[in-house]
Amino acid sequence: MNRPAKIAVAGSINMDLVVTAERLPVPGETVMGRQFRMIPGGKGANQAVAAARLGAQVSMIGCVGGDTFGAQMLEGLRGEGIDTAFVATAEETSSGVALIQVQGGGDNSIVVVPGANAALTPERVSQAEEAIRGADVLLVQLEIPLESVRRAVEIAHRHGVKVILDPAPAAELPLSLLRQIDLITPNETEALILTGGAADASPDASAQDGRTVSESIRQLKERTGGAGVVVTCGGKGVLYDLDGKQGADPAYRVDAADTTAAGDSFNAGLAVRWSEGAPLEEAVRFASKVGALTVTRFGAQTSLPARDEVEAFEAPFRDDPA
C-alpha cells in the first residue's frame, strides 16, 4: 500500500488520573503513593493516537464534556493530526475520567466514570458515516454505549469496511453484532467472560473455570461465524486463530513500567499493518512490538510509540510463550 492506512475509531475519550505506589491498598487501608499525573486516555482515544503515531490517517468518533478536560483532550487529539470533526461536545456533562492505580512492576487497576462518553448516541455515530465509509479499518471498544458500537459496526459492515472489536470492558454481546466483525481481540479474562465465564473473572480464571484459552478461541470463532480471534495473554504472548491458522507468538522480554494502554496500542498496531496490506499473522507480530514498547513507559498516551521506534525495536522473546 502506497498511501497511509485510514483508520476510524469510535470510542471513549477520558482524562486519566494516575497514581503510582509500591503496592495497591486493600479495602480500608491507606498507602502512600509515589506520583500523581493527569494524562489523556480512554480506550478509543488511545487507539486513535497510537494509530496516528504509527503513520495512519485517523478519524475519531466520540464525545467529550463541556469542561476543561474536554478542551484539553480535543486539543491533544488535534495536535496528533487526528480528524476530530466527529467528536461532539456535551456541554452540560463532565468528560469521562479514569482513576488508575499503578503498583510496582507495572500492573494496574482502573475505575472508569464514563461521563460524556455515554452521550455518544447512535445518532451521533450515524453523523460520522462519511468517516467510517472512507476507512480501511474501524476500531471499536466497549467504553461507549453498546447501541452506538452496534451502529458504528453496522455502518462499517454495510460499506465493506473491516472491523476490529476490542471487547473491553467485557460484556455479553449479541450475535447480531459479533457476526458483523472481522476480528476480535480479547485478553484472557475477556475471552472467558465472552464465552460464558464469570463477570468477575480473575486473570487466571481460565484455569479455575476448567477451560483453556484455546477453548475460548474455538467458542469465539463459532459465535462470530468465523471471524479472526486474537487473545492477548500479557507476558505470555498471544494466541490466535486467523484465516483458519492457529498459532502462538511469545511475548518480548522487556522491563514493564506500566501496562496502561498496552492493549490499545496492540489493537492500533494490528489495525494499521492490516490496513497496509500485511497478512494478519504479520500484523499480529507488529502489534506485539507496539504493545511491548508501550509497557516500558508510564501513562496512556504518553507511552505510545512512533513508527520509527517500532521498526527499530529489538528484544529477546520470553521463554514462556502462550
Cα separations in angstroms, 16 against 58, 83, 103, 108: 21, 21, 16, 12
Q: What is the pLDDT of residue 205?
A: 42
- % of the chain residues with pLDDT over 90: 78
Contacts by residues 28-32 (CB-CB < 8 Å, ≥ 24 positions apart): none
Q: pLDDT value at position 108?
A: 77
Q: pTM of the prediction?
A: 0.90
21 forms bridges with which residues in the sheet? 103
Beta bridge partners of residue 163, listed in sequence order: 138
pLDDT at 57: 98
The model's pLDDT over 32-59, given as tens digits with 9 standing for 90+, comes to 999 999 999 999 999 999 999 999 999 9
Calculate the alpha carbon distances from 63 to 37, 101, 270 in Å: 22, 25, 24
61-91 pLDDT per residue, tens: 999 999 999 999 999 999 999 999 999 999 9
What pLDDT, on a 0 to 100 scale, did the predictor assign at position 181?
Answer: 98
66 CB neighbour count, 10 Å cutoff? 15
- Per-residue pLDDT of 243-252, as tens digits, reads 889 999 999 9
Q: What's the pLDDT tens digit per position in 113-158?
A: 999 999 999 999 999 999 999 999 999 999 999 999 999 999 999 9
Burial code (b: 16+ CB inside 10 Å, e: under 16) for 256-293 equals bbbbbbbbbbbbbbbbbbbbbebebeebbbbbbbbbbb
pLDDT at 204 over 50: no
List, by residue number, the catalytic residues.
Answer: 264
pLDDT at 294 over 70: yes
